[in-house]
Amino acid sequence: MLQLNVIREQKDQVIERLKVKNFDAAAIIEQVYNLDADRRRTQNESDNLLAESNQLSRQVGDLMKAGKKAEADDLKNKSGALKESIAKLQQQLAAIEEEQQQLLVQVPNMPSEKVPAGRTPEDNEVVFSHGELPQLPDSAKPHWELAEQYGLIDFELGVKLTGAGFPVYKNKGARLQRALINFFLDRATAAGYIEIQPPVLVNKDSGFGTGQLPDKEGQMYHVTLDDLYLIPTAEVPVTNIYRDVILDTAQLPVKNCGYTPCFRREAGSYGKDVRGLNRLHQFDKVEIVQVAHPEKSYETLEEMREYVAGLLKELELPFRTLKLCGGDMSFASALTYDMEVYSGAQKRWLEVSSVSNFESFQSNRLKLRFREGKEKPQLAHTLNGSALALPRIVAALLENNQGENGIRIPKALVPYTGFEFIN
């Protein structure tokens, strides 16, 4: 959520910047701006009347104590008259605030100045690439065939148990999952991230805090009986740890990581793109989250990007880093890097990580602040990134490393899998 004072002071710049996200904010921002003036005027009036009323009450108390009942009754009547106008003003105020909030939550975060303009994924900027694209023979198989051939993943069984998009991992497939999770967590904790094991069901407040609610209600599985949501990413619980928290500057940056299964309804996606592991309803992911000082958050973003790149190098996967254009960025992000690995048999790039700086967009919703000495608390910046999401990593590993002896496990992973080949 954008900060009101930013809209108040830089209305036109806000509208201008949001155009980079292809969001026409003029009408809505203008409305928020006007409501803000209304709100302040109304609060001022209301506060003044309340002050008057409070003073009357104090006088009544004094008069009662002094035994001057008649005079007290007089003031009581006066106070009663005030009450009506106060109630009316407060109703107005509440209505204005409600309307303003309702508009404000619809406005996406402003993209950083570094964000390139653009509408589609084609407009994303490749800022880094690493590794040679694998040259596979024509007989190379896509990962879903390999998974079946080696008995690693049973998609059909998942359909039986749950439905499409809920694969069952078996044997070395299951072991590979566990190896990757441990590998990612070990690397993250070695890099200074504190390991968190959060709940995978969250309440509405948490969903709102990180921006999933109300905007993306349909993306999450909703357990209506208890009004809880299955998390689409560990970002939600791990960031919400700091909801309504005021940190001390010395505590920054906060670095947390966590492994969780992630659940996404992915309503409306079908077809070739979602074949095999490419897009699932349930998948595993290790997430890294940081809470940073506003002046340092872009340094932090680069650090996180480097960190994720390091993981991909260790896994010996060819990858590229994209700086997302305005049109392809998420609602809450100010700047996002996507990391894509090349999947040799499908011959396509697969997104395996998204590293974003949300600046104060989430913290404004979360009321996540920090205090510098005796200064007033100010909003911190939040960042997060996948490090990493498993399914597409598995897809690329299987496809790129297939050979006559089976599928080769990258060296860094062998201590975790306990085997060098899947055959």
Partner RNA sequence: GGUGAGGUGGGUGAGAGGCCGAAACCAACAGUUUGCUAAACUGUCAUACGGGUUAAACCGUAUCGAGGGUUCGAAUCCCUCCCUCACCGCCA
Instruction: Rank residues 75 and 335 by Cβ distance to RNA and give the closer one.
Output: 75
CB 57, min distance to RNA, A: 4
Residue 201 phi/psi, 5-degree rounding, is -110, 135
Strand duo 282-292 + 254-263: pairing:
antiparallel
- Judged by DSSP in three states, 238 sits in helix
Q: How far is the CB of 408 from RNA (least distance, A)?
A: 37
**Site pattern 326..355 for RNA (x: CB under 7 A):** ------------------------------
Q: Which stretch binds RNA (CB under 7 A): 286-294, 308-316, 353-361, 370-378?
A: 370-378
With respect to RNA, which residue has the nearer C-beta, 111 or 237? 237
Question: Smaller CB distance to RNA: residue 11 or 371?
Answer: 371
Amino acid at position 127, single letter: V
Query: Angle 212-215-218 (CA atoms, 0-180°, nearest 5)?
Result: 80
State the nearest-atom distance from the C-beta of 354 to RNA, in Å: 30
Strand order in the sheet with 335-343: 125-130, 319-323, 335-343, 348-357, 381-389, 282-292, 254-263, 194-196
For RNA, give the closer residue by CB, 132 or 227: 227
Other beta carbons within 10 angstroms of residue 124's beta carbon come to 22
Q: Which is nearer to RNA, 58 or 114 (CB)?
A: 58
Touching RNA, residues 37-76 (CB under 7 A) = 39-40, 43-44, 46-48, 50-51, 53-58, 60-61, 64, 75-76
CB of 183 to RNA, least distance (A): 27
Rounded (10°) CA dihedral 227, 232, 233, 239 = -40
Q: Packing angle between helix 390-400 and helix 171-190, nearest 10 degrees? A: 120
Crossing angle of helices 11-19/26-66, nearest 10°?
Answer: 140
Site string for RNA, 240-269 (x = CB under 7 A): ------x-----------------------
Q: Smallest gap, in angstroms, from Cβ of residue 297 to RNA?
A: 19
Element (H, E) at 203: none
- Give residues with Cβ within 8 angstroms of 135, minimum separation 6: none
Cis peptide before 366 (omega within 30 of 0): no
C-beta of 64 vs 191, nearer to RNA: 64
With contacts defined by CB under 7 A, name the span among 34-42, 128-136, 215-223, 334-342 that binds RNA. 34-42
Q: Give the shortest CB-401-to-RNA separation in angstroms.
A: 37
| Strand 254-263 relative to strand 194-196, pairing | parallel
ω into 214 cis (within 30 of 0) = yes
Distance in Å, CB of 68 to RNA, minimum: 12
Output the furthest CA–CA distance in the chain (Å, rounded).
Answer: 103
> How far apart are CB 415 and RNA at their closest, in Å?
30
Selected from 377, 403, 415, 418, the binder of RNA by CB under 7 A is 377
Q: Which lies closer to RNA via its Cβ, residue 60 or residue 311? A: 60
Shortest distance, position 366 Cβ to RNA, whole Å: 13
What six digits make up the tokens of 231? 């998390």
Q: Measured from the CB of residue 80, what is the shortest distance to RNA in angstroms?
A: 5
Size of interface with RNA, in residues (CB under 7 A): 30
CB 76 to RNA: min, Å:
4
Q: Please say which residue, 55 or 129, places its beta carbon nearer to RNA.
A: 55
Distance, in Å, from the CA atom of 215 to the CA atom of 227, rounded to the nearest integer, reads 17
Q: Which helix (H) or strand (E) holds 287?
A: strand 282-292
Contacts of 177 (CB under 8 A, 6+ apart): 169, 284, 390, 394
CB nearer RNA, residue 75 or residue 153: 75
Give whichever of 77 and 135 is closer to RNA, judged by the CB atom: 77
Residues 117-176 that bind RNA (CB under 7 A): none
376 near RNA (CB under 7 A): yes
What share of residues in the chain are helix, strand, coil (percent, to 5)?
A: 45, 20, 35
When the beta carbons of 61 and 261 are compared against RNA, the nearer one is: 61
Please report, as ranges, the residues that interact with RNA according to CB under 7 A. 4, 36, 39-40, 43-44, 46-48, 50-51, 53-58, 60-61, 64, 75-76, 79-80, 83, 246, 369, 371, 376-377
